[in-house]
Amino acid sequence: MSEVHIYHNPRCSKSRQTLALLEEQGIQPSIIEYLKEPLTAADISDLLRKLGFVSARELIRSKEDAYKELNLKDVDDEAQLINAMVEHPKLIERPIVVKGDQARLGRPPEAVLEIL
């Protein structure tokens, strides 16, 4: 059985709800606090693949200050969007739960149950 990982921000209510849901299911995931343990561009590309996302834009939080400050609204270059997430991890949508070669965004938290 594959280990379950959660890319978690303890200050985020959806992230806390998703972690609680996993624990209710008897799952003790490895917790990756991505704001403390920054991801590399390769990590983010791998997550995009596992999520089945076509574009890095789908993983970006557009309401964050950094999104506006970096003027990412008009950026189409995947590498530039991924590098923005590397440099500003708050831009990464959360939480993300990974099991094996699949991942789901915990919005809503129940969405992660599809891969468990």
Model confidence over 51-93: pLDDT tens digits? 999 999 999 999 999 999 999 999 999 999 999 999 999 999 9
Instruction: Quote the CA–CA distance of 91 and 26 in Å, as a whole number.
Output: 30
Q: Catalytic annotation on 12?
A: yes
Two structure tokens written together for 9: 């921000």
Residue 38 gets which letter from DSSP? P
Question: What's the pLDDT score for residue 2?
Answer: 73
pTM of the model: 0.95
62 alpha-carbon distance from chain centroid: 14
Beta partners for residue 7, in sequence order: 32, 96
The pLDDT-based confidence of 20 (bands split at 50, 70, 90) is: very high
What CATH number has the domain spanning 1-34+94-116? 3.40.30.10
Determine which one of 4, 11, 12, 70 is catalytic. Answer: 12
20: which strand partners? none
- Asked if omega into 108 is within 30° of 0 (cis), the reply is yes
Q: Evaluate whether 59 touches 48 at the Cβ level (below 8 Å).
A: yes
